[in-house]
A and B are shown apart, each in its own frame.
Chain A
Amino acid sequence: MEIIRASLRSLFDRAERGLGLFFPPHWNPMLNLGALGFYFYWIITVSGIYVYIFFDTGVTQAYSSVEYMTHDQWYAAGVMRSLHRYASDGLILVMLLHIAREFALDRYRGVRWFSWVTGVPVLVMVYAAGITGYWLVWDRLAQYVAIVSTEWLDRLPIFGEPIARNFLSPASLESRFFTLMVFMHIAVPLIALIMLWVHLRRVSKPRINPPRGLAIGALASMLVLSLVHPALSQGPADLARVPGAVGLDWFYLPLYPLLETWPGPVTWGGAATLMLMFCVIPWLPPLRKPPVAKVDLANCNGCMRCFNDCPYNAISMHMRSDGLPFEREAVVDPSFCVSCGICAGACPTATPFRRASELVSGIDLPDMTVAQLREEVELAQTKLKGNARILVFGCDHGVSLKGSENGTVCSVALRCIGQLPPSFIDYVLSKRLADGVVLTGCAENSCHARYGTQWTDARLARERDPMLRARVPRERIRVLWAGRSGRGQLDALLTRFANDLAAMPADASPVHKSAEREASKELIDG
């Protein structure tokens, strides 16, 4: 499993970087697959409603009503029909990539099982919706789909009368079955939408809308495709004839040739095994999960920053339970928490300047506390020499920091770069523990913990609490969002930064003696 994941991961890394040549990070299609899925869903919905106006739901009139749209009204209903088809194919494409990517990035195990497992019925329903959709056109492809689907269902020994008999000859065709398909084609996508809502229950602020640039590009390309290569029917269905050669939609129907030719036990057994595999894969093997975030009530003032920053809806704010004069307190739901530590990075009490009292954050990862982080920083910087000493804060999912270390560069690794309280940067620079600080993590917009890089950027830009203090010299900070493959970029950045630092005039301002007082002031301001 590890090997499959790793090789898939390097493929995705390469695709991401390749597309990164042309797309700015927030427009990169590979980083917006879920959002593109929703976007295609909306295109399908709008175009679907439009074609339904002109669609005749009687089995004998269906074909001619679709032909009317395609030929007589090609400029409107015809385009809508094509959009409906191609956006559905696009949905399959981005959905399959989305699944593969979540798998490759190992974002489907541990508490994330929930998003994965609730995705499986969506997958099935999207296919069911597409298959019933092809049925409605009642052309030769529809006939093929109808026959193979019903023959396949008939291989389960549960129906008395074979359902495929409905499509035996023109005389046996009834609109009863057809009406059922029309109903399913509308009902199934609606149920899928409800299921998608469940799918997103455990991520906060899900990105369901693609950025405008990407949305325009995707719609424009589908529109152009619809105009130059409109979706066509394949001749009216005729049960007196065999639908010999059919143009299959390989996005929806790639398994139909197998369903038709392989024996029932193999296809049904295969389908059941595949579904079962999909459902249990988050536990094959289960993720060895580090301990989840813990709240220390004595240090929590109920400021809600952790609640606002947690990417997995794991924190809720409850009424105060310990008598301290605050309104609320943070509570962690362990079954939602992925142990990313972003909450610790958000907590105003997690400031390394605290000396008077023991450094305990209001919320923290028990096996990687803010206090331990401070110790690591202090230990790491002792190895540095010269006037261009650089401390790199990196994360487990970015470039491996080993190997970049030498007499002038040292590093401290975090679960996620969002785990770093901005006050640490202030601490390092104002205490002269290093001359410069580098933050590095996942590629932009592709943070393993969803919002770590984004919150870090916002904290440094003083747009989001807790903010980096204004007094911190920005020229002594560098940020690199590059992901695992960013080794070269990091080394180049370190070399340049070292030169820049060496050229800077030595900071004349005294080391802040009053740092502790200020820190407690910051606490109260918070």
Chain B
Amino acid sequence: MWFSGWRVLKEGLTGNKGWRPHWRDPDPKPVYDAVIIGGGGHGLATAYYLAAEHDMTNIAVLEKGYFGGGNVGRNTTIVRANYNLPGNSEFYSHSLKLWEGLEQELNFNTMFSQRGVLNLFHSDGQRDYAARRGNSMISQGDDAVLLDREGVRSMVPYLDFDNGRFPIYGGLFHPRGGTARHDAVAWGFARGADQRGVDLIQNCEVTGIDIQNGKVTGVQTSRGAIRAKKVAIVVAGRSSQVAAMAGMRLPIESHVLQAFVTEGLKPCIDQVVTFGMGHFYISQSDKGGLVFGGDLDFYASYAARGNLPMQEHVMEAAMTLMPMIGKARVLRSWGGIMDMSPDGSPVIDRTGVEGLYLNCGWCYGGFKAVPGSGFALAHLMATGRPHGSAARLRLDRFETGYGLMDEEGTGAQHNLH
């Protein structure tokens, strides 16, 4: 089924009776060329690019719940390529380029909106850092504009510029950054994969990984055994449990991250605004809700809901930055389970088991990575070589210390990112 303006018009005039399910609901086959564990954004994108770029169509995505039930449907949808360090820099740059062509590629409206991302700063030292980061972004081929206080004011006049603790000195603006509709990204990749013959299997929990003589041979699932010579673990917050099925222990700690949305309001926040000093960021959805969030709850957790202390902190930061928000009513809040790595950067790599691949460590920033990650993992699985954009996302960097990507410069240790 293909979308077009004509089709939408016709369906609208005929009672919308012609729409069909966007993907099949097949039973798992006993053997595939490859299986992907986890039907979040990354798993679905991997399946799509395996089929679309590498003609690997005899493959399946195994999802224990439903597509979009994990972090891909829980995030605050910010897409950006404003990283500082080699490794992250080229990876997110490539991912943003894929985002820019994604709706045409998938024929699916992901509501990708390059409204710009504005990072505020509050001191001379922070301005220097913002300038440096902007230069890294520009030398990577992406865009960045250093704004002074008046430049920021003309964009977002409603901030508290003279806050006693965090007066606004300026901001680093990334015009090509923005937001997208998270569910639509999962659905678009799912539909594209299904159209190319990929079996998308929901309610299918992987319970074991079969290994013989150091090679992966398949998986055990709640819907029976499935054989495959290539298996990818793409399960975000559940990475440690699934990797343990292959006898691996990972440098990952799972934490809860919360997000909030207000009632729908008239358009008032045109960009994504981030207030790093208060651990607060905000944007407005197309429905009008203010979507905002803060930092992790900061203790290991698998509860997909948060605690009140972080909620209080986020609300306080919101009031500090933009007092006008005090009039808006919060509609909902929720949490997702983040796969936190020691340096705050991800892994797309082989493992010690032949044919077994690992994709994890996305922390709180893996939504913008969805196309880039799927593209790179598909490339690695199909060709046996890492894609250029992801060649540094190696698992052994923690062991060797070589190639750590510690963006915050705090040290590659848990609890610091």
A and B: partners? Answer: no
